[in-house]
Amino acid sequence: MLLSKLLGERFKEKPADASLASHIFLLRGGYVRQVANGIYSMLLPARRIAAKIEAVIREEMDDIGGQEVLFPVVLPSELWRESGRYDSVGSELVRFKDRTGHDMLLGMTHEEAAVHLARSEARSWAKYPFMIYQIQTKFRDEPRSRGGLIRVREFTMKDAYSFHTTQEDLERYYQIVHEAYHRIFERVGLPQVVSVNSDSGMMGGNISHEFMLLTEAGEDTIAVCEQCDYKANAEVAVSRISHIPAEEQPLEEVHTPGIEDIDALADFFSTTPDRLMKAAVFAVKDRRKPLVVFIRGDLQVNEAKLRNTIGAEVFPLTDHEDAGLCFGYIGAVGLDSTKADIIYDVSLENETCLIGGANKTDYHIKGISIPRDVRPGRFADVSRVRDGDACVKCGGRLALKRGIEVGNIFQLGTRYTESMGMTFTDSDGKQKYPVMGCYGIGVGRLLASIIESSHDDYGPIWPMSVAPWQIHICVLNSTDEDVRRAGHKVYEELRHKYEVLLDDRNAAAGIMFADADLLGVPVRVVVSARNVEKGEVEISTRDKKIKKMVKLEEVSEAVAGTVGQL
């Protein structure tokens, strides 16, 4: 490939709307161009990288028995109505009518399409287990597009769906995919990716894992134990809650004029927030009554945990006069349960001598004993894990880190097969619902994550396995016939063995080297007048670990040796 013919300009200015390294370099290096918010066109360098990532994914999926298929981007609404997701998923699902007025949608995930295909093709137990996968364009009308390819609306994804006759067989295969994912990430240059327990969210199922690249550029928060192997997305992470023993005291109503927040209340009573009990109020989808969550004053409600606990979407409320709740002074003692549903966080279990609201303006109650004065029927873990909390597994210290999700796997169970009426005939002649798993990797996000993991101040440092080209030849002073001839000779010698990019432009050395840094090709060969006079060329690596002069007649051997070291 000649750089003079490569479409896509490179520039040195930092884009005004980009903050992540991957976003900056993808724009500066001529990899992508924005078409609309969260929608990008890919130019040749990015497309070559993506194709190599896809090839690695295909090899690993094929190696564990995957069968590649291709589902439609546009789907009829009936499939999603069968699963129940057509109405339960929000505005991120793009719905539209075709020319006949039929309800259609753009696929943002393809569980329904997978079941639709498999239920007509796998009616006997003899077909099981099997896995089908695709690498396909999807569209999710993401309200918070950010970071270039990190969070987009249109994206390319590998999604796979496995079907099993038993839960035990799903669990066996789930581990096989788990191991294959680690091989994929290692092969594309991200061996440091870790798997963490996660929330299944709209996908459903009881068990799921996310594969996270730990980086400050990440938008997810991960709880990582510093002493054992416990790792979990903060949405589902748990910790050991330390309970503080205290002697029971009689209840006492105290006038607290205008004091509604935790810190002010702790100052008023000369205590600490962990001796307080606070209330958070939520609206619950499809329920008329609000939900009041009581939690210890030093903790916060984790909405993902709360959603999973009650099995419905929740939305924070700051005012709800119709419920008769006294916002700012809501308390557990004497709260009318006919006006609100109530959940108590496990942090309050068996606690005594607490301070909480009195359910009337400007008053709180101190001396609250949960076993004596409240006797809740239900405790649930709905609190957020904090940095420094004790690990639930070993008691060690939990650290909160940032991460980018580069893949996910789910044990779906029979959620989709049962709702969509997919059955198979077992060996005993009985009709049963297949058990499903699903497994996703975002190709564009993985591409961007590689940059986040491997770059310097000048551009990406691509691993050899996914680099757009393997060798980048810079011909300095290309108007000099001897230099030009030497450069093209090296190009012809190497291009039949490697993927080679030749910078044949009549550009200044500084421009050539800056563009080479932005393109991030692993091995660079510099042909200049001074070197050619000596019968040499310079070979270096993008990571700056290797730099050497070699004879022109030894270029091929020297390049092979350099490539072998990467």
pLDDT digits (tens, 9 = 90+) for 554-564: 999 999 999 99
> Residue 201 above 70 pLDDT?
no
Identify the pLDDT of residue 257.
94
Q: What is the DSSP code (8-state) at residue 370?
A: I
Identify the pLDDT of residue 241.
86
> Residue 205 above 70 pLDDT?
no
Question: Residue 158's pLDDT band (boundaries 50, 70, 90)?
Answer: very high
**In this structure, are residues 112 and 80 in contact, taking their beta carbons and an 8 Å threshold?**
yes
Burial class (CB in 10 A: 0-12, 13-18, 19+), 267: exposed
**In this structure, are residues 24 and 524 in contact, taking their beta carbons and an 8 Å threshold?**
no
Identify the pLDDT of residue 308.
87
Q: Which residues contact 337 (CB under 8 A, 6 or more apart)?
A: none
> Residue 430 above 70 pLDDT?
yes
CATH H-level superfamily of 252-380 = YbaK/aminoacyl-tRNA synthetase-associated domain (3.90.960.10)
> Residue 416 above 70 pLDDT?
yes
Higher pLDDT, 307 or 184: 184
Q: For 302, phi and psi rounded to 5 degrees?
A: -95, 110
**In this structure, are residues 443 and 158 in contact, taking their beta carbons and an 8 Å threshold?**
yes
Question: Residue 31's pLDDT band (boundaries 50, 70, 90)?
Answer: very high
Which one of 227-236, 287-296, 447-456, 481-490 scores highest in mean pLDDT? Answer: 447-456
Higher pLDDT, 143 or 166: 166
Neighbours of 258 (CB within 10 A): 8
Q: Which residues contact 214 (CB under 8 A, 6 or more apart)?
A: 192, 194, 222, 224, 401, 402, 403
> Residue 318 above 90 pLDDT?
no
pLDDT digits (tens, 9 = 90+) for 368-401: 999 999 877 779 999 999 999 999 999 999 999 9
Q: By three-state DSSP, how is residue 233 classified?
A: strand
Q: What is the DSSP string of 1-33?
A: -BGGG--S---SSPPTT--SHHHHHHHHTTSEE
The CA distance from 327 to 342, in Å, is 15
pLDDT digits (tens, 9 = 90+) for 498-530: 999 999 999 999 999 999 999 999 999 999 999
**In this structure, are residues 85 and 201 in contact, taking their beta carbons and an 8 Å threshold?**
no
Domain 15-237+400-452: assigned CATH number: 3.30.930.10
Domain positions in the chain: 15-237+400-452, 252-380, 469-565
Report the percentage of the chain scoring pLDDT > 90. Answer: 84
> Residue 273 above 90 pLDDT?
yes
Lowest mean pLDDT among 4-13, 240-249, 350-359: 240-249
The CA distance from 299 to 21, in Å, is 34
**In this structure, are residues 222 and 212 in contact, taking their beta carbons and an 8 Å threshold?**
yes
Q: If you search the block for the tokens 């109505």, which residue do you land on? A: 81
What mean pLDDT, rounded, does the chain reach? 93
Question: Residue 269's pLDDT band (boundaries 50, 70, 90)?
Answer: very high
Domain 469-565: assigned CATH number: 3.40.50.800
pLDDT digits (tens, 9 = 90+) for 56-93: 999 999 999 999 999 999 999 999 999 999 998 989 99
